[in-house]
Chain A
Amino acid sequence: MKIYLDNGATTKVDDEVVKAVTKYFTAEYGNSSSIHQVGRAAKEALENSREIIAKSLNAEPEEIIFTSGGTESNNLAIKGIAFANKEKGNHIIITKVEHDCVLNACRWLETQGFKITYLDVDKEGFIDLEQLKSSINNKTILVSVIHGNNEIGTINDLEAIGKICKENKVLFHTDACQSFTKTEIDVKKQNLDLATINAHKIHGPKGVGALYIKKYTKIIPLFHGGGQEFNKRSGTVNVSGIVGFAKAVELANKADIEKMEKLRDKLINQVLKEISHTMLNGPRKKRLCNNVDISFEFIEGESLLMRLDDQGIEVSTGSACSSKSLEPSHVLLAIGLKHETAHGTLRMTLSKYTTEKEIDKTIKVLKEEVAALRVMSPLVKD
């Protein structure tokens, strides 16, 4: 039995999505810019999908721009707003726990004359609203705060942040790749000017995302070409992928969220209870319904990951060794973890397909494998 607990990385595509997508590969394969029948059919599917996605965010259809995914949407939001507003100011505020694509887009903007403030987070991963307020100055053009943190599951209060941005007349963007369909996003209530979402985290296809851009917001496109997507994202539109994206949004439901929350809490509670020297990262409440992130003292994450993998359990680490760099995760360091604790951290992310049986097996195997690695560890003293 294979147990996939890495749904924060990507998810299995829902069978219904596969069915919906296939039609637009083989039967309705037209280019949505063409005006003949098959083109019009593609255009209709595109606009239906746009409506479904707009509705899920309480946005208007013309405010949804389809892209190739989260990375592109975040780059378009940050660079597009920066260059459209450079006469107004050159200051952008983000947090220390953003996804790499936001962080690295901002680091690059620093080389182009922009100033970036990286907000701190508390030990649960929340930003401090007072620090946000005091960081805004007359050069600030954009605030970008991740909605649901991809590593530790923290859900930031978009409404409170949006209110501050509105009062100070700065644009507000959120990277909602992990939280989309899992917790409420209401662009009007939360005063969002831009929001990044994508398909493959919600059982849709890879290579499709969207950026919500509030009406009348000036933005410089990343791609220039045929003027697709309201002149904001040129390139032949990925109709099949977008149809799959919309289908995945339609399939998302409250019952699945509640099921994930229940299993998430079981996994957290049992691991903390049955394995000593463990610690949950991120908050208990205001946490993504599918995210579990636990540090195991005295052992290293990659070793634990590979031992679980041998038993058919697929998870990820917050450890350096999972990537090419040797530095532990910037998110875990930002919440104040020591390096060796950060190195011993596992992220387990559930989906609607996760079963209680799988969670029980995971707890059992974790117990055994953590014990086996601790026998080898020089950090354990008897």
Chain B
Amino acid sequence: MYTEKVMDIFRKPCNIGEIKDADGVGKIGNPTCGDIMELYIKVGKNKDGEEIIKDIKVKTFGCVAAIATSSILTEMVKGKTLKEARKIGKDDIAKELGGLPPQKLHCSVLAHSALLKAIEDYEKKK
């Protein structure tokens, strides 16, 4: 039901945890469907002066797909500019994982929304 890549990431997820002095936090979830994510970002600047995601951490309550999507997303955007990060779509996440079962595609939507919310939160606070 899951690809080997999904299972590998699920077994050893990256960037798990919180950032205490995060610049932006995105909380999203729905206990009814069984997934809750909290995503924390720290924003810095690259040598061109563009804003980048310097650090990112995530906490996930959810199934294998929820844990794998939130983990791979943190890897996909870490070090990227906010502009680049915003461009990553939910389909890109599923693609990066080698696909997800259809009933689990909502997990990638969730991870994607958590990231957008964290960026939004950062920009509101700025």
Contacts and interface: CB of A to CB of B under 8 A. Distances in A.
Interface in A302-331: 302-303, 306-307, 310, 319-321, 324-328
B62 to A, nearest CB: 5
Nearest to B101: A324
Contact of A310 (B11, B66, B103): B11
Interface residues of B, number: 28
Nearest to B59: A378
Contact of B60 (A307, A320, A377): A377
Q: Is the interface of B mostly helix, strand, loop or mixed?
A: mixed
Given A326-B103, A340-B31, A300 B66 contact: yes
A132 B121 CA distance: 54
Interface string B77-120: 00000000000000000000000000110100000000000000
Nearest to A321: B63
B37 to A, nearest CB: 7
Contact of B64 (A306, A328, A375, A377): A306
A240 to B, nearest CB: 32
Interface residues of A, number: 25
Contacts of B11: 307, 310
A338 interface: yes
A375 B67 CA distance: 12
A321 B37 CA distance: 16
Contacts of B65: 321
A377 B59 CA distance: 5
Nearest to B18: A378
A206 to B, nearest CB: 21
Contacts of B10: 303, 306
A366 interface: no
Contacts of B103: 324-326
A379 B33 contact: no
A338 B30 CA distance: 12
Contacts of B23: none
Interface string B20-39: 00000001010111111110
24 contacts: A298-B61, A300-B61, A300-B62, A300-B66, A302-B63, A302-B64, A303-B10, A303-B67, A306-B7, A306-B64, A321-B104, A325-B103, A326-B34, A326-B103, A326-B106, A339-B32, A340-B31, A340-B34, A340-B61, A343-B31, A376-B13, A378-B37, A378-B38, A379-B61
Interface of B: 7, 10-11, 13, 16-17, 27, 29, 31-38, 59-67, 103-104, 106
